[in-house]
Chain A
Amino acid sequence: MNVEKRSAFEPPAVLVERETPPPQMRRPIATSFGAVLVVLRVLAGVVWLVALAVQWDHVLTEDLDIELEPGTDLAAASDVILAVVLVVGAIILLAELALALLVYRGSNWARITVMVFATLSISGAAIDYFSGDAEITLRTTLITLSLDILVLLALSSHNARAYARRPRSRPVVE
């Protein structure tokens, strides 16, 4: 029988100890919810890209102060730039969608990756907000910021962590 005395307080080291969750674990709600939120984030990205494409000329003239005359090299270049932005954006969104699927299936590296990007995005918004440059309201970036924070909350929860780090019967490269 193994009955040991324990110290009266929990040392901080236990917080970074390895956990061994039970191998048989159903997918927790936090994991499914996190994956759904990432998909919503992708949809928000699609809306943003479409809006950018529709208002491209407006964005150039109003926000960037570039005057376009039809038929010039500048106009042709702007179309190329728009196409590049759209393609790159689409690739990023597809990658995000793949990450959502991986998170849903319990991949730990996908969960960490999503959380790293959510953290960077939140930190960027926070720096803008607290340095007084940007106002965050429903009309501007509140929706995407909320999605980022909710993703981070869901995927960093103990259940989601345990599910992503559960022991597998077959070895999985993490």
Chain B
Amino acid sequence: MGEPGADASEPPQPRRFSINAALDGFFFVYAGIAAVWLAWLVLSETLSFGWFGIAFFVVFWLVLAYLVLPRLHRILTAIYVPDYFIGRARTSDGLLGDPVNLALDGDEASVHAAMLTAAWTRADDVTAASSWRIITSTITRRSYDEAPVSPLFLFGRQQDFAYQQEVEGNPARRHHVRFWRTPDGWLLPGGRRVDWLAAGTFDRAVGFSLFTLQVTHKIDADIDVERDHIVSTVLGANPDARVVILRDFSTGYHSRNGGGDSVRTDGDLPVLDLSDVREVGEVRDAAIEESDESYESDAAPERVRVIPGVKTA
């Protein structure tokens, strides 16, 4: 940014420092502090209203979980969470979210075709209507298989789209995977070019977030199972799909996601090559069936290539 000597026909570069942005920063922090005070005032009201105070306690929780803690996290994570690629998506509060555990090659149409053929459902965008529908379907336990997924951020951008598979018609449990297009010319650590990055996790229940106390989905800790489920369903349904596995792409680790759920992974990164997938084929519902065998031994060997991590003496 800010390349000097730009073409004279281009508009002048804006100032790097903006009073407006500084004012915004002040208001952002000031509102956070004021919200803490508001939470305290509401909590002290709780004590003076007897049984009616329970309603005030709910209001206190709403203020704390949806206003105060997100704002405080947003301020603090801007300071301590690195903003470059570290293999993790970030929540809208800036917390470390789901790990990036899948990469893809191919244009957008190919990705959509491959996912739809493998019996995945595209998630709706978050709007007022879809938010209301997710609330009603959760309360009534009705199926909502295009339910939106919460926004997670990579490269400072919300996911471009997301796919999911509802399990047993229960909105609390679902497979889901978010996709981000990588910036032009962006390389994975290690130097490989990929077109898409994705983060797949399995929502196992609805619960409270550890960090913000909000109601959220709890994810299954073993995210490698979900990663392998995505790869095997896509390979199983799309004969033209291939995969290259980068062994030990990230060091095997265990950690927590944005809701405080623990996650662990062996650190392998499968790179699905979907560039030969052209159109939506016959949807293979059978692909949803869990197979005990890993796709690494299941699929035709010429479609799976493994690049091992290198050990040095």
A→B interface (CB under 8 Å)? 1-3, 6, 8-10, 13-19, 29, 108, 112, 115, 119, 122, 126, 136-138, 142, 145-146, 148-150, 152-153, 155-158, 161, 165
Contacts and interface: CB of A to CB of B under 8 A. Distances in A.
B312 interface: no
A158 B151 CA distance: 14
B21 A16 contact: yes
Interface in B34-92: 34-35, 37-38, 41-42, 45, 48, 67, 71, 74, 78-79, 82-84
Contacts, number: 82
Contact of A142 (B18, B30, B41, B67): B41
Contacts of A1: 185
Contact of A15 (B30, B42, B78, B187): B78
A146 to B, nearest CB: 6
A72 B60 CA distance: 52
Nearest to B49: A138
Interface string B11-29: 0001111101111110110
Main secondary structure of the interface of A (DSSP, over half): helix
A119 B185 contact: no
A16 B31 contact: no
Interface of B: 14-18, 20-25, 27-28, 30-32, 34-35, 37-38, 41-42, 45, 48, 67, 71, 74, 78-79, 82-84, 128, 185, 187
B248 to A, nearest CB: 23
Nearest to A142: B41
B171 to A, nearest CB: 21
14 contacts: A3-B185, A8-B82, A15-B25, A16-B18, A16-B22, A17-B17, A18-B18, A115-B27, A126-B37, A138-B45, A142-B41, A145-B41, A153-B71, A161-B24
Contacts of B23: 112
Nearest to A174: B20
B82 A142 contact: no
A145 B38 contact: yes
Contacts of B187: 3
Contact of A152 (B16, B25, B31): B31
